[in-house]
Structure 1
Amino acid sequence: MPDRSNGPMGGAVLLLDLDGVPPRERVEAFHHAMTDTSVPNRIRHEEPDTGMRARFEGWRIGGLDLFDMRSTGFEVRRTAWHVRRHRDRPVVSVSLQTRGTHRAETGGRQRVLGPSDICVFHELAPRAYGWSGQGASRAVTLDMADLGLPVEAVVHASLRLRASPLHGLVLSHLRCLFHEPERLQADPGAAALSRTTVELVRALLTSAAWNADDARVRGTMDDSLPTRVMAYARRHLTDPDLTPERIAHAHHVSVRHLYAVLARAGIGLEQWLITERLERARHMLGDPRWAHLSVGALAARCGFTSHSHFTRRFRAAYGTTPSALRRHRPDTRAEGPGG
Structure 2
Amino acid sequence: MMSLDRADEVVHVGDEVAVRRVSTSTVPVADRYAYWQESMSSSLYPVRLSPAGPVNRGKRSDFHADFLRVDAGPAKIARGVLDPVRSEITPAAARQRSGDTVQIMLHEGGKILLESRQGRQVLTGRTLTVQSDDEPAVQTHTERVPMVLLSVEAARLSVPMAALRSSMFVPHPVDGMLRVLVLGAAETARHSAGRLDPVGMTSYLSGVAELVLRTLVGHQTEHLGTVEVRRQQVRELVRARFHDPHLTTTVVAEAVGVSVRRLHQLFAGGPTVAVQIRTARLERAVELLSDPLWAAQPVSVVAQRCGFLDHSQFSRAFRQHTGTTPRSFRA
Find the aligned partners of 1:212 and 1:29 in 2 and give their Cα distance. Answer: 43
Question: Among residues 47, 54, 60, which one is paired with 1:41 in the alignment?
Answer: 47
- Structure 1 runs not aligned, ≥5 long: 226-259, 262-339
- The within-5 A match list for 1:158-237 is 158=168, 162=172, 169-185=177-193, 186-188=195-197, 189-207=200-218, 210-211=220-221, 214-216=224-226
Matched-pair contact (CA < 8 Å) for 1:203–1:224 = no
Question: Among residues 80, 88, 93, which one is paired with 1:82 in the alignment?
Answer: 93
Question: Among residues 14, 17, 27, which one is paired with 1:21 in the alignment?
Answer: 27
How far apart are 1:142 and its partner, in Å?
0.9
Q: Does 1:66 align with 2:73?
A: no
Find the aligned partners of 1:62 and 1:73 in 2 and give their Cα distance. Answer: 30
How far apart are 1:178 and its partner, in Å?
2.2
- Structure 2 runs not aligned, ≥5 long: 238-254, 257-331
Percentage of matched positions with identical amino acids? 15
RMSD (Å), alpha carbons: 3.7
Change in CA separation of 1:205 and 1:145 when aligned onto 2, cut-off 3 Å: farther
Matched-pair contact (CA < 8 Å) for 2:129–2:170 = no
1:293-319 Cα distance to aligned partner (Å, 9 max, x none): xxxxxxxxxxxxxxxxxxxxxxxxxxx
How far apart are 1:177 and its partner, in Å?
0.7
Change in CA separation of 1:152 and 1:161 when aligned onto 2, cut-off 3 Å: farther
How far apart are 1:218 and its partner, in Å?
8.6
1:159-178 Cα distance to aligned partner (Å, 9 max, x none): 56749xx9764443212212
Find the aligned partners of 1:221 and 1:97 in 2 and give their Cα distance. Answer: 31
How far apart are 1:8 and its partner, in Å?
4.2
Matched-pair contact (CA < 8 Å) for 1:203–1:221 = no
Find the aligned partners of 2:153 and 2:166 in 1 and give their Cα distance. Answer: 18
1:215-258 Cα distance to aligned partner (Å, 9 max, x none): 35996799989xxxxxxxxxxxxxxxxxxxxxxxxxxxxxxxxx
- The within-5 A match list for 1:97-112 is 97-112=107-122
Find the aligned partners of 2:112 and 2:35 in 1 and give their Cα distance. Answer: 22
Write the letter of the residue equivalent to 2:45.
V
Change in CA separation of 1:117 and 1:147 when aligned onto 2, cut-off 3 Å: same
Write the letter of the residue equivalent to 1:78.
I
1:66-85 Cα distance to aligned partner (Å, 9 max, x none): 11232210011112101123
1:156 maps to: 166
Q: TM-score, normalised by structure 1?
A: 0.54
Question: Among residues 99, 108, 118, which one is paired with 2:128 in the alignment?
Answer: 118
2:290 maps to: none
1:256-304 Cα distance to aligned partner (Å, 9 max, x none): xxxx99xxxxxxxxxxxxxxxxxxxxxxxxxxxxxxxxxxxxxxxxxxx
Find the aligned partners of 1:161 and 1:214 in 2 and give their Cα distance. Answer: 22
How far apart are 1:135 and its partner, in Å?
1.7
Q: Does 1:57 align with 2:64?
A: no
Q: How many residues align?
A: 222
Matched-pair contact (CA < 8 Å) for 2:185–2:208 = no
1:23-70 Cα distance to aligned partner (Å, 9 max, x none): 222222222212212332222113463532122320135752011232
Matched-pair contact (CA < 8 Å) for 1:61–1:184 = no
2:275 maps to: none
SS of residue matched to 1:120: strand
Change in CA separation of 1:224 and 1:70 when aligned onto 2, cut-off 3 Å: farther
Question: Among residues 23, 26, 31, which one is paired with 2:37 in the alignment?
Answer: 31
SS of residue matched to 1:125: coil
How far apart are 1:106 and its partner, in Å?
2.5
Change in CA separation of 1:73 and 1:224 when aligned onto 2, cut-off 3 Å: farther
Find the aligned partners of 2:106 and 2:90 in 1 and give their Cα distance. Answer: 22
SS of residue matched to 1:32: helix
Change in CA separation of 1:32 and 1:162 when aligned onto 2, cut-off 3 Å: closer
Find the aligned partners of 1:105 and 1:69 in 2 and give their Cα distance. Answer: 23
